[in-house]
Amino acid sequence: MGMGAIATIAVIVIVLVYGVMIYNNLVTLKHGVTKAWSNIDVLLKQRHDELPKLVETCKQYMQYEQETLERVMKARAAVASAREKGDVGALGPAESELRIGLGNLFAVAEAYPQLKANETFQHLQTRISGLENSIADRREFYNEAANNNNVRIEQFPDIVIARLFRFGPAELLEFSEEEKRDVDVKALFS
């Protein structure tokens, strides 16, 4: 076997090893996106379970605010549907509606001193607010994992392996302009 054959075999082995390394890195990124989504999913489920308790507590005091309560429950159902399907695109708008509904609910609750003083309401409000903050943090991690995945599958030479093994892009979890806007507190009390 001559030097040319050895050099050719060495180049082939190096290319194969490099290809395997790229593949393994892409698998790691793909599973990072899945893990980040799972972390959001757990928090969404916890919040989903707490919202009916909050609405029931509010119903006892807020007889004239049925529309606000119904909006929260309708948004809750939309979030649950998107979560169960793993539909990141539908989750963004549903989350926006839920956050707006919760903001309205908590603002309207200010007009009910007995409700505000209710220990169960205070506990649920604190719990749901904490879950909201955790979801926002996890959303940031998810979007970072999705972005890292998307960048890698478009870079050369990774794109070759990504297309060969059908690694696809991950959808970013985005929210509506309405949710990003400052809340008009004055309008909530009109």
Q: How far apart are CA 29 and CA 63, in angstroms?
A: 50
Distance CA(135)–CA(145), nearest Å, equals 15
Helices 3-59 & 66-85 angle (0-180, nearest 10): 160
Residues in the chain with pLDDT values less than 70: 176-190
Q: The tokens of 74 are what? A: 């309708």
Domains with residue ranges and CATH for the chain: 3-188 (1.20.1440.20)
Whether residue 93 is preceded by a cis peptide bond, meaning omega within 30 degrees of 0, is: no
Q: How far apart are the first and last CA of the chain?
A: 88
Longest dimension (CA), the chain: 91
Q: Which pLDDT value is given to residue 169? A: 96
Count Cβ neighbours within 10 Å for each residue of 39-77 and write b for 16 or more, e otherwise.
bbbebbeebbebbeebbebbeebbeebeebbebbeebbe
Report the alpha-carbon distance of residue 102 to residue 135 in Å, rounded.
14
CA dist 110 and 127 (Å) reads 18
Find the radius of gyration of the CA atoms of the chain.
24
Nearest in space to 32 (alpha carbons), one of 138, 174, 188, 156: 138
pLDDT of residue 178: 55
Specify the pLDDT at position 176. 64
Placement of tokens 């990124």 in the chain: 29
Alpha carbons 29 and 163: distance in angstroms, whole number: 15
